[in-house]
Amino acid sequence: MNQVSFESEQVTTEMQGVKVSGNLFWRINEEDEGPFKAYTNLGEDLKSDNPKTANSNLQQQASAIVRNEIANAELRTIMKDRQTLVNAIKKEMQKVCKGWGVYLEAVEICEVLVSSGSLFKDL
């Protein structure tokens, strides 16, 4: 199993900056043509203990999904309901991962920070 850290910063619908960091846990999908798809899409780098190409691709995909979710949500939702964000990441990532021959084991949100200085002071 591999672990990838990701981090994204975006403004919410109220134009308040939020920074989210978390981790993805993934492995090669052993079903059907999973190993073949993984090797074809992610390359020989998969042989190493730290597959940089696969990790980088998954990290970029997760960051893009998180930015989209933040941009379309309210600050209150992002701060209080992390499970909604986790579910959205899982749902969108599974679509991509299936085509790459990768199985997404878990997603965790480690930290949600308010990055808008004035709002942070007001809190």
* DSSP element (H, E) containing 122: helix 117-122
> How many domains would you assign to the chain?
1
CATH (domain of 111) = 3.30.479.30
pLDDT of residue 29: 85
Residue whose C-alpha is closest to residue 64's, from 74, 75, 72: 72
pLDDT of residue 120: 55
Q: Which domain holds residue 111?
A: 2-122
The pTM for the full model equals 0.83
pLDDT of the chain, 123 residues: tens digit per residue: 889 999 999 999 988 889 999 999 999 888 888 788 888 878 777 777 788 888 998 999 999 999 999 999 998 888 888 898 899 889 999 888 888 889 999 999 999 988 866 555 555
